[in-house]
Amino acid sequence: MMRARQKPCTLCQQLEPVLYRVKYDESAQWSFVCRHCWDSVSQNNPFYVYGGTWKAKK
């Protein structure tokens, strides 16, 4: 039996099956954020860069 893969959101730590790879601040470090946190970091943010989507199901 295969276990479902999940990763924690960098910001809220919620385990999620889909995360968005983004840069959202001056550090320019890549982070994985959930849909809820992605909405807040992507809006009107000059540092925001989208880098792809991580999905549990390949």
The number of domains in the chain is: 1
With a cut of 80, say whether residue 4 has pLDDT above it: no
Residue-number span of the structural domain to which 37 is assigned: 1-43+53-58
Nearest one of 28, 5, 2, 31 to 18, comparing CA atoms: 5
Whether the CB-CB separation of 36 and 43 falls below 8 Å is answered with no
Is residue 18 domain-resident? yes
CA 2, CA 50: separation in Å to the nearest integer?
30
Strands lying side by side in the sheet with 49-55: 31-33, 18-23, 49-55
pLDDT tens by residue, 9-52:
999 999 999 999 999 999 999 999 999 999 999 999 999 999 99
Is residue 48 domain-resident? no
CA 19, CA 7: separation in Å to the nearest integer?
8
Residues 6+ apart with CB under 8 A from 2: none
Is residue 57 domain-resident? yes
pLDDT bin (cut points 50, 70, 90) of residue 2 is low
